[in-house]
Amino acid sequence: MRVKPATAPAASPVGAGAAAVRHLVVDEGSAGQRLDNFLLRELKGAPKTLVYRIIRSGEVRVNKGRAGADTRVEAGDEVRVPPLRLAERDPAEGAAVPAREFPLLFEDEHLLAIDKPAGVAVHGGSGVSFGVIEQLRRARPEARFLELVHRLDRETSGILLIAKKRSALTALQDQFRQRETGKTYAALVIGAWPAALKVIDVALHKYLDAAGERRVKAVPADHPDGRRSISLVRVVQALPGHTLLDVTIKTGRTHQIRVHLQQAGHPIVGDDKYGDFAVNKALARGTAVPGCRFEHMFLHARRLAFDHPASGERIELEAPLPPECATLLSRLSSAPLLPTTAPAAAASTP
């Protein structure tokens, strides 16, 4: 986005945040965005009600003509913005988001892929002040466009895609919606996973618990609020009291892998919502695996395949296991393999 000086005399100052008409030129990174979203991003500190009011009143013009909130702006469009009364932002507010770069797996002018650590939210909200995207924007003030293509749970580590152009964002999100991406997760579960259980086809229902937190549960296929969910499971390694799995998801439901594996009788190690809390506590104390303390969820987005949004080339990314996960596996591998009394799987297989 470029800012052009106003060609008409500036209007009288109406507030500390703006003293003149502004003319914004839409760049390639913002092409295809709705006018309301474009303005909300450009007019930092402007309330939504104000943005929609100036659009409805006709004070916002696109190429000198009136436009609706749902108008799609294109590269080169000139957007006229009237003088606005915007509250001064507290400099300390921006400083509260620490700039941070994350381990890079891929980057070009269209997108970047990072290896997100466990325990870091992808964005602020729901009690979290900031996440990966806010920290990246802070670290890259020159970046005109940075948006999440998809999401990972806060406690899930691994591959996360960020678009650097709106065209890349929409193309990649279309691939995710059409299930044209290959997403494989490494998950360490409690107990011996039955080798014959390779497909979990169990509907899931999302709801809020008594505390207002988002939860998911398995429901019958004919449940009115259930959504069909499919996970493919492959045993990678049998370990004492545990199994390392590769899980490829065919649908992208909230907490899908966590609930599918728990519903099958083998919760993910360290899962604080659906896991075995006694086992998790013993692992965190270092008593479950002598000499090894493990304090987060063992779910890692290790592989992602997609078509490049510009070239169409198939891109396959791999993220190595975090060091603490690799250490836990190493300690478990050195122990003798013992029979397990884990409950039998309860999932349905088509």
Query: Active-site positions?
Result: 153
Residues in a beta bridge with 162? 112, 148
CA nearest neighbour of 122 among 141, 150, 94: 150
CA angle centred on 72, ends 137 and 170, rounded to 5°: 55
**Radius of gyration from C-alpha coordinates of the chain:** 24
Backbone angles phi, psi at 295, to 5 degrees: -120, 15
Please list, in sequence order, all residues whose beta carbon lies within 8 angstroms of the beta carbon of residue 147, skipping any fewer than 6 positions away. Answer: 133, 162, 163, 166, 169
**HEC states along the chain?**
CEEECCCCCCCCCCECCECCCEEEECCHHHCCCEHHHHHHHHCCCCCHHHHHHHHHCCCCEECCEECCCCCECCCCCEEEECCCCCCCCCHHHHHCCCCCCCCEEEECCCEEEEEECCCCCCCCECCECCCHHHHHHHHCCCCCCCEECCCCCCCCEEEEEEECCHHHHHHHHHHHHCCCCEEEEEEEEECCCCCCCCEEECEEEEEECCCCCEEEEEECCCCCCCECCEEEEEEEEEECCEEEEEEEECCCCCCHHHHHHHHCCCCECCCCCCCCHHHHHHHHHCCCECCECCCCCCEEEEEEEEECCCCCCEEEEECCCCHHHHHHHHHHHCCCCCCCCCCCCCCCCC
